[in-house]
Amino acid sequence: MAALGGGDRERQRNGIGMTSARTRTRMVDRLRAAGIKDELVLAAMNAVPRHLFVDEALAIRAYDDVPLPIGHGQTISQPWVVARMTELARNGRTLGDVLEIGTGCGYQTAILAHIARHVWSVERIGALVAKAKRILTSLKLVNVSLKHGDGSHELKEDLAVDAIVVTAGATLVPTALLPHLKPGGRMVLPLAQPGDEHGVQRLTVLDLTPAGIKEQTLDAVRFVPLLSGLA
């Protein structure tokens, strides 16, 4: 297969028709109408070409507000969920370091990289780490560090971050991650709640305050489960 030339790579990033920059702008307009208010987050959603993160056969649906399969039993989250989690993580602040648990194909990683100084992302499935690395490198996002690791347990890293974004559904708060939060830091994750139907979680915000952890439960969402072990 011939390598892409510079112009070909640029056209692939920009897209045509249903994958064009104009289609991305319409997606952002829908996100704004659906309640996403953070203009920095909306600008990031507009800047990142989502069609590059899905299989070519699904590119025509890349800007629909739906999750899409990325292989290995995983999905790329719907744009509204990505924007909402990013907005919650930022919380109007300037973000320095951010830890993401569950890189997947790297789309949420790319959005975070547009608003944070550095993104540290951990993924348990090696093939997805490789895929995300290829795409993020093609987008010249140099403020991202990827790791093939188990984000459901202690990371054994000397890492202090302003926010943690967990992109898989948990049944319990992953308390091993909390020591990585700086004072005033925030974790955003989909967390199963008593009474929720099977497979449904709630976006949950945990703030590290001087008085301890403050928890808020927000929107209903549906994520693949947070699993342990490497694959």
Tell me which DSSP letter residue 10 carries. Answer: H
Nearest to 81 by CA among 172, 195, 189, 154: 189
Return d(Cα 149, Cα 229) in angstroms, integer: 8
Return d(Cα 1, Cα 10) in angstroms, integer: 18
- H helices of the chain, in order, are 6-14, 21-33, 39-47, 79-90, 107-113, 126-138
Longest CA–CA separation in the chain, Å: 59
Q: Is 77 a catalytic residue?
A: yes
Return d(Cα 4, Cα 189) in angstroms, integer: 38
Question: Tokens 């790579």 belong to which residue?
Answer: 9
Could you give the dihedral angle defined by the CA atoms of residues 171, 123, 106 and 101, in that order, rounded to the nearest 10 degrees? 40
Task: Give the active site residue among 77, 138, 145, 228.
Answer: 77
Whole-Å CA distances, 29 to 25, 76, 97, 189, 203: 6, 20, 28, 25, 23
**What positions carry a catalytic annotation?**
77
